[in-house]
Structure 1
C-alpha cells in the first residue's frame, strides 16, 4: 500500500528550554502529521549523545537521551518548578540547539527532580528496573563511573574498573549508589514519556520509523560491559575500527572509529545480543531503518591508531545469517535497508534475499554524465524514496549549489519553471513515483535553505542543531501536504 511520511528529529521539535522533547509540541506535531494525511514519522536514533552530539555515537544502544525528557511534565509532578527551568540558560538562538548549555543545565534540573521524587518508593520504577535489567545496571554504572573520571573514555579508567574486576565493580556500586539510581531515574522518565507519545501517535494512525546504527560507539556502556562482542585485545584496545575507504567525496576516506564486531562469536550465540538489541528497537519503533546495511555483507576494517581510513581492508560480514535468525526469533518485521553508496553484487543480492526495501535519494539522481538508479523512472515498488536524508543538504540548499549542467538536467526532468517551485517539484517526483513509501524531510516541505541542514558527514561543530520555530507548521501547510499526498494515492 502506498504511504508517505515526514522526517523530523525529536531534537528539532520546537519545545521549550533549548531542545525538542516529548512535550505537548511533540503531540502537536503528531496532530500535524494526521492532518497532513501522513502514515509515518521518521526520527533519528534516540540514544544519549556524547562528543560531537551525534545520535550515531551514543553512550548506549539501549538507553534514551535524557535531553528529550519533558521538563514541563516534571513541573506538573511537583518535582521541579517553572522558575527552576527559567533560571537556567538553555538557548543562544531559538533555531539551533546549544548542546554545551543543555549539558551544563539539564542534569542540574533533572537532579532536583530526582531528589524530590522519592522514586525508589514507586512500584512502576521498580518494575521498569526489572524489565530493563539486561542493560540498565551497566549503563547507569558506566555513566556514574565516567563522571567520577571527569568524562574520559572507559579505556583510560583505572585498570581494575576498566576490566570490570569484581572488587572494583562492588566498590563503585556501593560508593555511588545514589548517582547510579539518578541515571536509572532518567531512563525511567525517558521510557515513560516516549512510550506515551508513541502510543498517541499509533492511535492517530502514525507509525514511527526509527534508526538503528550498525555500530556502537567505542566509548559506550555496550563496549565496556560486553568486550567479548568486539574485536578488542586483552587490554580492551580495539584491533580494528570502522569507516569507509577513500572515494570521490573524501581523499582519505571516513574514519568512524567504532569497534568492529567479532562475528564468529555472535554466530555461536545465535546473535543473542543482536536479537535483544533489535527486539528492543521494535518496542521503541514500528519500522526500523538499519543504517549502513552494507556492513552486514562486508565491513571495512581500519587498523586501530591509523590517522585516516586509507589503509583499511574489506572483510566478510555475517551476510544473510543474521537476518535468517532474526526472522526465526522475532518474526517478519518491517525494515528499511540503508543501501546507499557503492553497492557490490553481493550487497545487492543480500538486500534482495532479505526482501527489505532499499532507499532512493532524489538528490543523488541528477548526475548528467550517467543513467542513475536514483531517477524515479528506475524505481521498483519495494523501495523508500526520500528527497534527501539527514545527511543531505535541504533540497533548496542543495539545488542552489548545483553545477549548471546537472541543474539543467534536473530542470528538464522535473519540469522546474520557477526557482520558488524547486522543493515542490522534488516532492512531487517522490510522491508520484512507484515507490511504496515516500519520506520527505520537513525542511523540504517548508522550502528552507542550507541554514536548516541537519548534518554534514565528516564534520564536527555545526551538526544536529537545527530546530523548527514555533508557528512554522500550520493548518495551511498541513492541507497543502494532504492535497499532494492524496493526489498521488498515498492516503
Structure 2
C-alpha cells in the first residue's frame, strides 16, 4: 500500500507529561494531538501499547500482544467518572533535574498507580452490582477471544509471584480444562480487576484515537514480530511456537546476528514461531493479531519485517545470538492470506539490519514502504541507500528511531569523517558551521522524496543523548525517557515545524 505525502512525530504515550510519574492517555495526550494539528502533522507514531514486564520493553517483554498497558490509564479521567475520589488523587513528587530529561521510575509508578486503580475497580464493581454497564458487557463479549485467556493468565501470574507459566502446576501449564476451571473459580476478583483495567484502557484509547482522527491525524501503531515467552499468547497457544515439549522452555530463541548495534548480535530470548503449524491453521493467530491491532490504530509498522522472509534462530540455552542460523519464514504466503482476510494492508515495513534481495522483493511485492534512517547515511559512499538522494518515494524516512540515539546524541558521538560528510552534504565547508544538527536532519527528512517522514519528538526539541529511548546494546535502564514540561511544545516550536512541513508539501 502506498501513502500520500505526509509527516508526523514519533512519541510513545509513556513519554508525555503527567502528575503520576509516567505519561498516560489523559489531557496531555490530547494536548499533544493539538500540537501535531497546529504543526501540520498527519501522523502520530507510537510503540506497542501492551502491558510490559521485566525492564518494561514494549517489544520483548509484553504479557500479551492484544492487551493494553494499565499504566497508561488516565487517573484523572477515572476521577471525572466518579471512580476515584479527588481527595485520594495524590500525585507523585516531581522528578528532580531538567524536565526535558525526566525518567520514569517504575518502582514508584507501579504501586502508586495500581493502588488508585484498585480503588477505581472497587467502586466500578459496586456500580456494576447496582446498575450494570452495557459498554463493559459489550467489550467483554466482543474481546472474549483473547481477553478471557489474558485475565486468567494475569491472575495466575500474580498468584505465582510472576514465575514463568511453565513453572506453574503442570495441569495449569498444560491448560487442562478442570484445572483452568478451578483456577478461574478461585481467582474471580483478580480476574475481574484485570478485565476492568482492559476495559478502561481501550475505552480511553478509543476516545483519544477518535480525537486524533477528527483532526486528520492517523495513528501509526507497531506490531513487534515476536512475543514474550512468559505471556498469555504463548501459554494459550503453545503449539504455534517452537517449545521444548517437556519443559515448555523455548527450544529456539529469536534474535539477530552481529550487526551495527552489537558485535555479538542481539539475543531477544523470545520463542520463535512454528510457521508450519501456523500455516496449517491458515495463519489464524496472526490474522487475529492484525485485526485486533487495526481496531486501535490506522497504520501498522511491522517491526523486524525481515523475519517473515527468514529469521535468525538461536538454540535454547545460548547466551549470545552468535550461534544461530537463518530459517526460511512464511514469505509471501502469509501476506497473501492476510490480504485476503482484511483487504488493503496499511503496513510500513521495518526493513533494517541484514536485508537481502529476497526481503526487498517481499516488501515491494505488497508495496510496503521501507525505512530510511539518516543516522545510517554518512558512513560510506554516495551510493549509501540511506542518503536522501537515493530514496524511492514509497518509503518512510526518520532521522533515527526509538532504537537510535537522538540526532544531537549521534552527532556528539560521530567521528570526524562522518561529521565532514554531513557538513559537505548540507553545503557547509566545516562541521563547525552546523548550529542545529537536529533541525538540519528534520529538513533533510521533510524535503526528501520519501512519501512519509517521521521525526522523534526528541529531535524536534533538540535534545541530546540523555533523551534516548532505547539502546539495543543494553537491557537495563531503557524505555524510561519522558519530558515533564508541557511548555516545551510551545508556539515557536510548532510554527517552525509547521512552516517546514508546508514548504516541503507534507
Between the aligned partners of 1:249 and 1:224, the Cα distance in structure 2 is 31
CA distance 1:363–1:136, change in 2 (3 Å)? same
Deviation at 1:5, TM superposition (A): 0.5
Of the candidates 128, 135, 143, which is equivalent to residue 139 of structure 2? 128
Partner of 1:415: 427
Q: Does structure 2 retain, via aligned residues, the 8 Å contact 1:90–1:102? A: no
Q: Does structure 2 retain, via aligned residues, the 8 Å contact 1:89–1:105? A: no
Partner of 1:66: 70
CA deviation string 1:151-190 (max 9, x = no partner): 1111211211111122221111001101100000000000
Deviation at 1:86, TM superposition (A): 1.1
CA distance 1:215–1:359, change in 2 (3 Å)? same
Deviation at 1:459, TM superposition (A): 1.0
Tell me if 1:5 matches 2:8. Answer: yes
Tell me if 1:76 matches 2:80. Answer: yes
CA distance 1:302–1:92, change in 2 (3 Å)? farther
Between the aligned partners of 2:491 and 2:262, the Cα distance in structure 1 is 43
CA deviation string 1:12-68 (max 9, x = no partner): 111221111111110011011000001100010000000011000210000000001
Of the candidates 25, 39, 43, which is equivalent to residue 36 of structure 1? 39
Q: Does structure 2 retain, via aligned residues, the 8 Å contact 1:386–1:438? A: yes
Alignment: residue pair count: 490
What RMSD over aligned residues (CA atoms) do the two structures have, in Å? 1.5
Between the aligned partners of 1:249 and 1:434, the Cα distance in structure 2 is 27
SS of the residue corresponding to residue 404 of structure 2 reads coil
Partner of 1:380: 392
Partner of 2:374: 362
Matches within 5 A, 1:249-264: 249-264=261-276
TM-score (norm 2): 0.94
CA distance 1:88–1:437, change in 2 (3 Å)? closer
Tell me if 1:178 matches 2:189. Answer: yes
CA deviation string 1:63-121 (max 9, x = no partner): 00000100001111222123323166685666111111112222111111100112542
Partner of 1:477: 493
Q: Which moved more, 1:90-99 or 1:114-123?
A: 90-99
Partner of 2:448: 433
Matches within 5 A, 1:21-420: 21-56=24-59, 57-86=61-90, 95-118=102-125, 120=128, 121-235=132-246, 236-247=248-259, 249-368=261-380, 371-416=383-428, 418-420=433-435
Q: Does structure 1 retain, via aligned residues, the 8 Å contact 2:52–2:58? A: yes
CA deviation string 1:197-244 (max 9, x = no partner): 000000011000000000111110000011011111323222111011
Between the aligned partners of 1:330 and 1:141, the Cα distance in structure 2 is 29
CA distance 1:87–1:9, change in 2 (3 Å)? closer
TM-score (norm 1): 0.97
For structure 1, list consecutive stretches of 5 or more residues without a partner in the other structure: none
Q: Does structure 2 retain, via aligned residues, the 8 Å contact 1:90–1:105? A: no
SS of the residue corresponding to residue 279 of structure 1 reads helix
CA distance 1:90–1:331, change in 2 (3 Å)? farther
Q: Does structure 1 retain, via aligned residues, the 8 Å contact 2:261–2:472? A: no
Q: Does structure 1 retain, via aligned residues, the 8 Å contact 2:21–2:92? A: no
Q: Does structure 1 retain, via aligned residues, the 8 Å contact 2:259–2:353? A: no
CA deviation string 1:406-434 (max 9, x = no partner): 11001110235634321111111111100
Between the aligned partners of 2:337 and 2:412, the Cα distance in structure 1 is 46
